[in-house]
Amino acid sequence: MTDLRIKIGDITFSNPVFTASGTFGYGTEVSDLTDVSKLGAIVTKSVTLFPREGNPPPRVVETPAGMINSIGLANVGVERYIREMIPLYDNIGTKVIMNIAGTTLEEYCDVLEKVEVISSNICGYEINISCPNVKKGGMQFGVDSSMTEALTAEMRKRTERLIIMKLSPNVTDITSIAKAAENGGADAVSAINTVVGMSIDSETGKSQIYTTYGGLSGPAIKPIGLATVHKVYQSVNIPVIGLGGITTGLDAVEYLLAGAVAVQVGTATFRHADAGEQIINELHQFGDSKSIEKISSLTGAVKTYTK
């Protein structure tokens, strides 16, 4: 049987399949539909310093092989997250990565500090510097390498836990942002967040999303995610977590080959809440059929025509 364990920083995960932020709630809501303990880790919805209502509806729409969302980071805020969600992680049976979003450097720091001072099962933080759906937001960080480096360094100062910087594909040169995260002291980067998209109803002439533009996710963005992961993998020495349109074990394999050490599953969980579990099973099948000893041997092993 293939060894699915992978390592990021000092932490060993039982397998490389995580949930993607914003598509699995806070990790405890769907326990009746899937065995959360099977997952390598769960990544929570973005948590901000204060609660957020999110954007007016419509917030979601289906598009070819994907969907556009503009949720606007609706979340309970860090105080309530600490009070109500964190205690539930004691018995969750898997690793928890908390995703943090903010609008200023101070806000990111405040959220992290509040969580750092309490003891909890959280093993790391994914820092969302790439949400396309808030007017004033993380996106400012995600498009600017010096801000990314400064933010990463501030986070690094405040925690020993894993720091994973989540990158946006909506930039001119993602490798410079990834390098900035590495220079700032990140343990890993994850890519990609959603791709800016728009949907129009030709019948009514209406834009289908309240904020006009939203974030495209699902199989439609898989090729973009793969290319991004491959580029980032080649430009940094820290692990890359790959995501964007993963719905099967073979999709996960492609991401690993492109350079990812682990993957996250997002939109696919809206169709099947146990998509992550299925993907783990399929990874096992793939590993067995190819007699792969360690899944980690796939990372970056893609054969390209040119160097």
Ligand X SMILES: Cc1cc2nc3c(=O)[nH]c(=O)nc-3n(C[C@H](O)[C@H](O)[C@H](O)COP(=O)(O)O)c2cc1C
C-alpha dist (Å) from residue 36 to 91, 133, 139: 11, 28, 30
Stretch that binds ligand X, among 140-148, 153-161, 240-248, 293-301 (CB under 6 A): 240-248
Specify the stretch interacting with another protein by CB under 8 A; choose among 34-42, 45-53, 164-172, 294-302.
45-53
Cα separation, 178 vs 131, in Å, equals: 16
46 binds, among ligand X, another protein, none (CB under 5 to 8 A by kind): ligand X
99 vs 145, which CB is nearer to ligand X? 99
Strand pairing report for 11-13 and 6-8: antiparallel
Beta pairing class for 188-191 and 195-197: unpaired
Q: Does 199 bind another protein (CB under 8 A)?
A: no
Task: Kindly report each contact of residues 86-90 with a partner whose C-beta sits within 8 Å and lies 24 or more positions away, as own/partner.
Answer: 86/115, 86/118, 86/120, 86/121, 86/122, 88/26, 88/27, 88/28, 89/27, 89/28, 89/120, 89/121, 89/122, 90/121
CA pair distance 175, 137, nearest whole angstrom: 21
Asked if 73 interacts with ligand X (CB under 6 A), we say: yes
Chain-centre distance of CA 202, in angstroms? Answer: 33
The two three-digit tokens of residue 141, written as one number: 């960080």
Strands 95-100 and 41-43 come out as parallel
Which stretch in 140-148, 197-205, 261-269, 277-285 sits in contact with ligand X by CB under 6 A? Answer: 261-269
- Using the rule CB under 6 A, is 128 a contact of ligand X? yes
Q: Please, which residue, 283 or 292, has the CB nearer to ligand X?
A: 283
What sign results for the dihedral spanned by CA atoms 114, 117, 121, 127?
Answer: positive
104 binds another protein (CB under 8 A): no
| 139: contact with ligand X by CB under 6 A | no
Site string (162-181) toward another protein, x via CB under 8 A: --------------------
Rule CB under 8 A: say whether 25 interacts with another protein: yes
Per CB under 8 A, which region of 56-64, 124-132, 151-159, 187-195 contacts another protein? 56-64
Binding footprint of ligand X, residue count (CB under 6 A): 26
Where do we find the tokens 């917030």?
59
Contacts with ligand X, residue ranges (CB under 6 A): 20-23, 45-46, 69, 71, 73, 99, 128, 131, 166, 193-194, 217-218, 221, 243-246, 265-268
Contacts with another protein, residue ranges (CB under 8 A): 22-25, 29-30, 33, 45, 50-67, 69, 71, 74-77, 80, 218-219, 247, 267, 269-273
